[in-house]
Structure 1
Amino acid sequence: MPLHLSIRFDEGYFARICYFFHYRLPFKTRISQPFQEGQTIHAVGQISNEPKRVDFNFHKGAQRDADMPLHLSIRFDEGLFSGKLVYNTYKDGNWSENEQRIKNPFKPNEQFDLRVRIINGKYQVFANRVEVGSFEQRLPLDGVCFFKVNFTVTNPLNDIDASRISATTCISNSKSRKIKHFQFFLFSTGKRVNVNLYRSNREYALQVSIRYGEGAIVRNAMTNNVWGTEEREGGLPINKGEIFDLTIINEEFSFQIFLNGERFAAFSHRGSPTDIETVEIDGTVEVLTVTVNDAIGV
């Protein structure tokens, strides 16, 4: 199974490189740095035809009886708790009596997209890009050194976003200029969100401008510091106040733009496709996660 790790290094801006590894399920990995406020842990796959459960755990050690500040268990076929998403903690060899349950939003043989965000002393849980609930952090995250996922899903992908994300702006630098894949998980409450890709001379290689008031997603770029012709086809397939994924794939001749995993538009390059140095997000928007890497795919 592929594991998608996003690693932060500081150069005055947010910057990150992503690496891909292959593991078998169940998957368990050591966390190289402590979890921090604003991080999101992301698991993606396809639910199998006859699933039993999916467990999503934070461990304070490698041993079986290690404390678990977070245990999320998605139950499909387990008696009393069938059809439930269960949250609990495990400490000193005992499960907490305060087990919380909400409706399981996932179904067999369908997409599985689970994101857990650490924010304001809570775990904010998103299922297939929809917030389904939040749970209080009952135990401190200090000392968490392992993350484990046990799936009955196919084609799983785990993404540990190892950077703290600003609530309004995230800028990402890359010295390699070989970036091929940009993915943003955003929540907009304003009239406009701009996602900007800059060349090394600070010209716009691409601007994707989501304009709710105009009902359009406008694409444009600069040549010799002059804006070119806007491209507006495609309408606005997302609504203000919705959480959404925006993916930009930098191909040889064009940028391919996807919304929530569906192809939205292509934008032909108006400059060198290898000269992409800075990513910027502006607008009234909450940036939940950003992934920048050199792997092609949605």
Structure 2
Amino acid sequence: MANSEQQLAIYKPTTAITSIKGGLQEGKRVIIIGRILPDADRLHVNLQCGSDSKADVALHINPRYEKGSAHVVYNTYQNGTWGSEQSTPDSPIVKDKLFAIEILVTKEAYKISANGKHLKDYEHRIPITQVNTISVDQNIKLEFIGYQNSVPPNKKEVINGLKPDKNIVIYGIPNPDCKSIAINLRHRYGVAFHYLCRFEENAVIRNTNENGIWGPEEKTEGIPFIQGQFFQVKISCKAEQYDVSVNGQQAHTYKHRFTKLEEIDVVEVCGELQLFSVEAKDP
């Protein structure tokens, strides 16, 4: 794979150090999703020049929770010395709740945001071509690490189709004015599972479309998403139904109408939202 196409997506990483082959590139973004442990007083996320403990750190992001206040410190470690700190107040990262840190790599700076809120433009002190490692400390329960294009695709191929115990995992944030979010599990002739949240109606609709014809709707009140707040959706494919959970809480079920699960080959996410990742995971 050419460096210009280099992509990385790791769901439930088992290590706190992740290598980026070919190094950072302008226009790409680094995504870290997880939970800070409830008893932690700080966290670090580093973009490093190697995996050694003494490696230079081009970008050090350091949320701190001290004396009842939360803030974020930024710095660079080069040639054995820390540079001058920069900081922002009022961290949007809350302990023991899912968060997403996004780092967009530009020519001049790292554009850093958390849970969709812009935090800092941190100007480069070390050339991005020297950066090849993402490192986090042990104060986080990691959910996802990604190195991707600046605009993520809203479609994901499901390799070898669905099967019982295969999971679809989606991370995102509905826009503050979001009117709807739709998740579609598609096959060649239609939509096996259509999961539609309509915010203005405060309703969730489930349905199936085959050969251009929609079946009877299943509709319930109450949306498991909050506009402007980070979410994780997991759709678990079971033998008889789909189980939908949001942020770890069971939300809905939907019995299979289209039963040729192996023919379901695309996950599609639509609506007014910021999308971080769409993953299809084998059991």
Q: TM-score, normalised by structure 1?
A: 0.75
Q: Could you list the per-position Cα deviations for residues 95-133 of structure 1 after superposition, in whole angstroms to 9, with x for gaps in the alignment?
A: 2314214345667xx52534221237444332xxx4454
Q: Please give the alpha-carbon distance, in whole angstroms, between the structure 2 residues aligned to 1:162 and 1:120.
A: 10
SS at match of 2:135: strand
Look up the match of 1:34. 23
Contact 1:69 1:137 (8 Å CA) reproduced: no
List gaps (5 residues or longer) in structure 1.
1-9
1:141 and 1:48 map into 2 onto residues whose CA distance is: 33
Matches within 5 A, 1:22-61: 22-23=14-15, 27-35=16-24, 37=27, 39-45=29-35, 47-49=37-39, 51-61=40-50
Q: What residue number does 1:184 align with? A: 170
Contact 1:174–1:278 under 8 Å retained in 2: yes
- 1:278: how far off? 0.8
Matched residue, 2:281: 293
1:71 is displaced (CA, Å) by: 0.8
Q: Sort the Cα spacing of 1:18 and 1:181 in 2 relative to 1 into closer, same or farther, 3 A.
A: farther
Over residues 255-295 of structure 1, what are the superposed CA-to-partner deviations in whole Å (9 max), with x where a residue is unaligned? Answer: 11122322110011111233320112223333222222214
Does the 8 A contact of 1:257 with 1:265 survive in 2? yes
Give the match for residue 113 of structure 1.
Answer: 98
2:63 matched to which residue of 1? 74
Give, as a single letter, the amino acid of the residue that structure 2 aligns with 1:34. G
| Distance change >3 Å, CA 145–CA 195, structure 1 → 2 | same
Q: TM-score, normalised by structure 2?
A: 0.78
After superposition, the Cα gap between the structure-2 partners of 1:176 and 1:120, relative to the gap in structure 1 and judged at 3 Å, is same
Deviations 1:143-177 (A, max 9, x none): 21112111235xx225222332636x511113311
Give the counterpart of 1:161 among 137, 142, 146.
Answer: 146
Give the whole-Å Cα distance in 2 for the aligned partners of 1:39 and 1:292.
Answer: 20
2:193 equivalent in structure 1? 206
CA distance in 2, matches of 1:236, 1:133: 26
Question: CA 1:172/1:202 → structure 2, altered by over 3 Å: closer, same or farther?
Answer: farther
Identity, % of aligned positions:
22
Q: Distance in 2 between matches of 1:48 and 1:240?
A: 25
CA RMSD of aligned residues (A): 3.2
One-letter identity of the residue aligned with 1:54: L
Question: How far apart are 1:190 and its partner, in Å?
Answer: 3.8
Question: In structure 1, what is the Cα distance between the partners aligned to 2:272 and 2:56?
Answer: 39
CA distance in 1, matches of 2:218, 2:189: 21
CA drift at 1:194? 1.7
| Counterpart amino acid of residue 279 in structure 1 | V
